Every structure is written in C-alpha cells, then in structure tokens.
Amino acid sequence: MALKKGVDVKPASGKLGILMPGMGAVATTFIAGVMSIRKGLSKPIGSLTQMGHIRLGKRTDNNSPTIKEYISIAKLEDIVFGGWDIFHDNAYQAAVRAGVLESKHLDPIKEELEAIKPMTAVFEQAYVKKLTGPNVKKGTSKADLADQLMADIKNFKEKNGCDRLVAVWCGSTEVYRKPTDVHMSLDKFEAGLKASHDDIAPSQIYAYACLKMGVPYANGAPNLSLDTPALLELARKQNMPVTGKDFKTGQTLMKTILAPGFKARMLGLEGWYSTNILGNRDGEVLDDPESFKSKEVSKLGVIDSILQPDKYPDLYGNISHVVRINYYPPRGDAKEGWDNIDIYGWMGYPMQIKVNFLCRDSILAAPIVLDLALFMDFASRAGMSGVQEWLSFYWKSPMTPDGLYPEHDLFIQLMKLKNTLRYTKGDDLITHLGAEYYD
C-alpha cells in the first residue's frame, strides 16, 4: 500500500509481544540484552530505535530529536517475549548453551529468562538437515500445524495480556529452494497446506499463521519463507507489513559500507574473496551445503547490486566474488571473517585491502531484532502494509516490491529509513540537495 504523508499512528499503548520462531543464539542474546537494559545494567548499543537521532528541518534549526522521541514506538518496559524451538531449553539454558553472553550478564536476569519457555515447533528435517529436536508438533497435515500455531499465538496473546504482537524469524537457515507452483497464489498455498505439499517449508507455515493472526512478520534468515507470491498476497489481504531477508550483521555489513565508497570514488574492483570461520549452531547448520546455498545466494547479491556492473563495465564488469563459511567449533559465536579485496585505480594500477573482522555475530544481530520488531509494530500502527522496503537497512537480501531491484548501499538505506519516518510525520524530507548552503 502506498505510503501516506503525515499519517495518524495509533498509540503504542499496552504490551507488545515479540514472537520468535527459533530461540537460539540471536533470539536469546536479544532477549537477555533487553532485560539487562531494562534493569539499567547495559546500554542498547547498536540499536537505531534506542540510540539514533533524526535531523529535522535545516541544519541551522538545530533540531535532532531521538527517533524514539520522534515517532511513537513501544517502550522496552512494555515488551513481552515468546517463541518456538525444537529444543525444550528455556531462554536461560539456551543462552548458556549459545555461549554468547557471560554469566556476569546472565546471572542478574536468570529468573526472568528461565520463565521464557519455547512453544512446540513446526519442524521438518528435510529443511534443516543437521538438526533434530524433541519439541516438535505432530499434526494430521501442514494445515493442521498452521492451525496449531495460530492457537499458540492466540493463547500467548491472551495469557500475556498483549495489545499487539510482531514476529521475527530467528530460526535456523533452511535449505535453498526456489518458489514452485504451490507458492504462486494464496489459493494454491492453502490447498498445498491441506495436502501437506513437500515444497511448503516450516518457516512458511509460521509466516502464514502469523499473517493470518494479524501479526507483522520479519524473516531473519536467508531462506524464502514469506518471500513468495502466495504469502505476499496474504500480507496484502490482511493489511500486514512484512520484511526480510537475512540480518545484515558481520561481513555483509562491511561490504555494504566499503563497496559504496569504492563506487563513490570510481575505483575499480577485480575481486572480493570472503571467508569465515564460525563455531556456533548456525555454523553447524550452514555446514550443510543446501543451507549454505541459501546463505551464499543472499551474500553474493550485495556487490553486484551496489556496483552495477552493467552501468560501469570498465570498473566492475569482471568481478570474481567468492564467499566461504567454514564450521570451526572452537570459535563458537565469535566469528572471524577475512576479506581480501582487489581494487584498482588510476591507469588500472592494482591495490589490495585486507579486512579481518573478529566479530560477534549475535551481538551484532540482537539490536537488529529489536529495531525490526519495534519498527514493524510502528508500521502496522501507521497502516503500512506489504513489503517494507524502508527497512532494507537491516537486511543482506532486502525484499522489494515486485520488479524492483534491492537497494544495498547502507547509506542510501539509512536515508530512506529516516525519510520514511519524516514522511509519516508529515515533515520535510532531507535530501541534502537544498539550494541553500544550510539545507
């Protein structure tokens, strides 16, 4: 639905339930972080909704409120957490297992975390080959499983006295699949659910159930999930916002920071070799070639769309772009990425850049989950539905409305995000193109 200027946004009153299919490293780091911030023990570092400012008017106006003052978003105190997982571990046990946060951060919130127990998951081994778990629903068909998820959502909302819900998929990366006929319309998809069609993935059953229940849905993994005609049709029908795919965290974040810089300076790129070692459960799942394929496709798209080789053949017409992920258990969640970037300058002289990012995957992903949940709830209250392209900032593979190429440049994405917020408030957009020097 087209964005309206100066919309009336329903107030963020009451509790907001954030539902996560998949309660592993990312989900528990996010939950623990919010709890710690609520207790005044940590700061929301990395979160635009909590720390970002937005400039309004001319630079001489000196008016830059924080985003959370500017738009109506839910308060951290009003958030309730829930989710599903194929393991029975509560959020405390899952956080300890994930090994991201130290006991000095988990101990003060142990009881609160222990109270969050995963609901029984919809899971199919064929879609995540490396995992098996005991906490899995049984059903007579995929339609029956979707009904069970809808019942979970209804119960969660009632039990926790939530005013609104949003969902963010934090589950494992499913195997790479392209949409097939069953994904081409809502009718076909619903018939496929009843017939338990093999091509309907668990992540799609969650997306379907959430949208049916009026819950905005964000997909943090690279697999298709809601990025199909059928589920986008459902989102439109339900007037629900949707967004995805694949949280933009470590190496791809660096790519979308560096590549726009090369292009801005008209520097050529001959090759970009990226390799990672990763030892958490996500790394184990990605050790399966079919799950890795989903990730690879998501990671590879970025460079081409930023650099536009068709428009700049002399600079970017022949790039060798290679991405590798190796499962290496000793490293746990502390991923290490190496990038070797071969660039060239004036008269074609070659240069090299080496980036060695010792990052923490879930530490980078957690604030993204928070921002997405809060912005999706805002979008829903503002009457925004369909694909929320202004949230491309958060994604490795931003979903776009039909026929449009994704915008990957982090700085354009940020401008788009902030201008969308200004637009919904009826304020002037900031284009940095004003006729006056102080615009």
Ligand X SMILES: NC(=O)c1ccc[n+]([C@@H]2O[C@H](COP(=O)([O-])OP(=O)(O)OC[C@H]3O[C@@H](n4cnc5c(N)ncnc54)[C@H](O)[C@@H]3O)[C@@H](O)[C@H]2O)c1
Residues that bind ligand X (CB under 6 A): 21-27, 84-87, 98, 121-123, 128, 131, 133, 170-173, 202, 220-221, 246-247, 249, 280-282, 285, 361-362, 364-365
Smallest distance from the beta carbon of 145 to ligand X, in angstroms?
Answer: 10
Smallest distance from the beta carbon of 318 to ligand X, in angstroms?
Answer: 29
Nearer to ligand X, 325 or 382 (CB): 325
Nearer to ligand X, 365 or 430 (CB): 365
Nearer to ligand X, 368 or 430 (CB): 368
Smallest distance from the beta carbon of 89 to ligand X, in angstroms?
Answer: 8
CA distance 305 to 103: 42
CA distance 429 to 390: 14
H or E, element range at 298: helix 289-307
Nearer to ligand X, 202 or 268 (CB): 202
Cβ–Cβ under 8 Å, residues 48 and 104: no
- The three-point CA angle 341-343-346 to 5° equals 165
CA distance 293 to 290: 5
Question: What six digits make up the tokens of 265?
Answer: 């300076």
Smallest distance from the beta carbon of 287 to ligand X, in angstroms?
Answer: 12
Smallest distance from the beta carbon of 5 to ligand X, in angstroms?
Answer: 33
Nearer to ligand X, 70 or 84 (CB): 84
Distance of CA 75 to the CA centre of its chain: 20
Nearer to ligand X, 52 or 99 (CB): 99
Smallest distance from the beta carbon of 290 to ligand X, in angstroms?
Answer: 13
Nearer to ligand X, 149 or 341 (CB): 149
Question: What six digits make up the tokens of 12?
Answer: 């963020």
Distance of CA 334 to the CA centre of its chain: 19
Helix/strand/coil for 73? coil
CA distance 73 to 79: 11
Q: What are phi and psi of 119, to 5 degrees?
A: -75, 165
CA distance 267 to 346: 8
CA distance 389 to 52: 19
* Other CB atoms within 10 Å distance of the CB of residue 139: 15
Nearer to ligand X, 205 or 343 (CB): 205
Name 268's bridge partners: 344
Within 8 A by CB and 6+ apart from 357, the residues are 250, 251, 254, 336, 337, 338, 339
> Could you identify the residue written with the tokens 């400039």?
55
Smallest distance from the beta carbon of 29 to ligand X, in angstroms?
Answer: 8
Q: How far apart are the first and last CA of the chain?
A: 30
Nearer to ligand X, 274 or 385 (CB): 274
Smallest distance from the beta carbon of 187 to ligand X, in angstroms?
Answer: 25
Smallest distance from the beta carbon of 207 to ligand X, in angstroms?
Answer: 11
Nearer to ligand X, 131 or 376 (CB): 131
* Other CB atoms within 10 Å distance of the CB of residue 433: 7
Smallest distance from the beta carbon of 227 to ligand X, in angstroms?
Answer: 14
Nearer to ligand X, 245 or 263 (CB): 245
CA distance 268 to 407: 20
Sheet-wide strand order for 336-344 = 320-327, 268-278, 336-344, 350-358
Smallest distance from the beta carbon of 436 to ligand X, in angstroms?
Answer: 42
Residue number closest to ligand X, CB atom: 24
Smallest distance from the beta carbon of 85 to ligand X, in angstroms?
Answer: 4
Could you give the dihedral angle defined by the CA atoms of residues 200, 171, 413 and 214, in that order, rounded to the nearest 10 degrees?
A: 60
Name 336's bridge partners: 277, 358
Nearer to ligand X, 85 or 409 (CB): 85
